[in-house]
Structure 1
Amino acid sequence: MDALTNEYYFPLYSALGYFTLVFGLGEISRILTSKYVSSRGNAQLFLYELIGTIQMCTCVYENGIIFKNYGFPAIFLCVGLLLTAGGIFNRDAWTNCAPIFEQFIFGNLGSSKFVTILSAQLIGAAFASKVAYLIWNLTAPYSAAHLENASNLDCVLHYKQSAGIVIGFEIIGAFVVRVVVSLLLNRPALIKLIPFAISAYLTLALYIVGVPGLNPIVATARLYGCQGIDNTSFMILYWFCPVLGWLAGAYFVGQKGPVKKTAKEVKAAKKEKKAAAAAKKSD
């Protein structure tokens, strides 16, 4: 049977078109940002993070179509490929608050940039649902899957396990992912496996727990306000637990703060900087 006309693949075509549109709009926005916004200060940093966060969180809304129609292997592959694409196009946007908490706590990220990145992520998470529903409504006449999603405003969380197991999955999962990421980063040939390592955890959590988190920003964009969990429990489960697990993983792998220079090294650096400035003026 011709795959192009097989109704089994229609939801896949809808999802591919959705992902292509979201990444395309994101890339156009980044090109315009690069062209018209100065890299000085934090404005460009803020916009890159905002664009990347909206892009990745908006894509998460479409993952439900992949899972509903094609199951666990498909969602594993889909998430891995989306994270890979994000790594290519996102201009080093974090799109996850756990790593920036780590960098800030260990002194590798200043307070100004920390606030800039975190605020961009929170705003991006808030706008993701609006972008997703806008696309679904615009494409509803051409996609039964999008018509169904656009018409369904209910969000109810169903957990397969008790609260203790769900909490354990968030803490231990974030810890394991942070350790695995560190191990893979130290092996250049395996760096490309990082997105699929994260996807493997999310797929496993989806299978065992039912509602995976790991990334507080994505969880906020997709799950905040859903029935089945109150706001306090949401913050504990999807913010405190994964950040705690991630920081524990960072301590475990021996994350270090910035190396402090001796007074002699600082003095030498200042002399070198003055010499370079003098040479530039003479030119």
Structure 2
Amino acid sequence: MTSPGIPETRFARSGVVDIAYQVVGEGERDIVVGIGWVSHLELLWELPETVHFLRRLQSFGRLVLYDARGTGLSDRPARPATLEDLVEDLVAVLDAVGSTRAVIVGWVDKAAAAVALAARHPERVEALVLGEAMATTVDREGDPGGLDRAVVERLAAAAEQGAWGTGVLLPGIAPSVADDPRIAAWWRRWERMSATPNMAATCCGHWSTSTCGPCCPRSPPAPSCCIAWTTHWWVGPRCVGWPKACPTGASSSCREPTCPPSSATRTRFSTRSRSSSRAPAPAPTRTTRC
């Protein structure tokens, strides 16, 4: 039996892998949420701040949460998940909860999976909400918009060499709350319960494949809201946007000069500054309700 206030965790079969998911509340709209990097469904409900966030999302409809394969309560295969795996897992969860069409919310690698799902199964996606969705992960000549590889490599090495589960990564992930003992204690458990050090490090190594570019259609396949921190420590602001690879991509921050301005009505961008102090981060300069 789960603790009071924690939704019951169930499992969807994706190929030979079991994917853990939860369903919260009811409503005409389904909202499916994938946490970036690693996650643990039941620990999400042990921190008041995340509970508040999830309850706010639930106010828009039926909320569906899931742990990606390799993390949390889902099966942990030896190899890390590919983008194709993540899409298949999303479809399995949608089928398991009886959702024919949903708003898909995802961060980083789960944002890439959301875009890929919308491109391959547009009939299943009502809208996209993408956090730190990377249009590119590789620096190009004249376009240094990729990930800071040195930072990613240091993060993977730290996770694999003893830092994972100690909380030393929290200042880089959430600097505004890094000095809060209550949140730091929760974060240490979050790391330990969400993934092994080896899997956490391996997932870091696969961030270079978590770009929306290869799977991106020529224009957004669904109404889209892209959210990014302007001071993110490893996903730079130039990583984020509707991919340049799309010659007619619709993005107000698209780096392709031939993008038609009229297309921008389908995609909205919100940027925030992240403060290293304990003070709350400033409100988004622009928000869109899908």
TM-score bucket of the superposed structures, by smaller chain = under 0.3
TM-score w.r.t. length of structure 1: 0.28
Q: Which has the higher contact order (CA 8 A, sep 6+)?
A: 1
More helix by share: 1
TM-score w.r.t. length of structure 2: 0.28
